[in-house]
Amino acid sequence: MRDASRVTVVLVAFVLGALFAFGSLLAARLERDGFTSASRDGMRAGYVALLGLGLGASVLTPFGLALVALPRSRRPLLVGLAVTSVLAVVLFVVAIR
């Protein structure tokens, strides 16, 4: 695979990961606010935990693919992974509080 096509695949993975992360955060926010039919009595801990796992997967998967596809960019990718992971955790905590 050429470098341009590798970069394209990685960019598509990051865009899809961002969409899935947004969906997980939105679902957690709606669960917190009681807009789901099953959450009228409060938040369901198992569901929120699964949303957190989905958020983690939507962040980690594109970075893992980028580390495999672009091995020369290891250090910037790891810094980006650390920053994005902290940001995702903070956003998730804000979404459920």
Predicted local distance difference test score (pLDDT) of residue 54: 93
Residues 6+ apart with CB under 8 A from 6: 69, 70
Average pLDDT, the chain: 88
In this prediction the pTM is: 0.83
Distance CA 32, CA 84 (A): 23
pLDDT band at residue 43 under the 50/70/90 scheme: confident
Domain spans of the chain, in order of start: 3-96
Distance CA 73, CA 75 (A): 6
Q: Is the pLDDT of residue 38 over 90?
A: no
Q: Looking up tokens 């970069």, which residue turns up?
A: 7
CA nearest 63: which of 91, 88, 82, 90? 82
pLDDT band at residue 39 under the 50/70/90 scheme: low
Predicted local distance difference test score (pLDDT) of residue 58: 93
Give the helix/strand (H/E) hosting 22.
helix 3-33
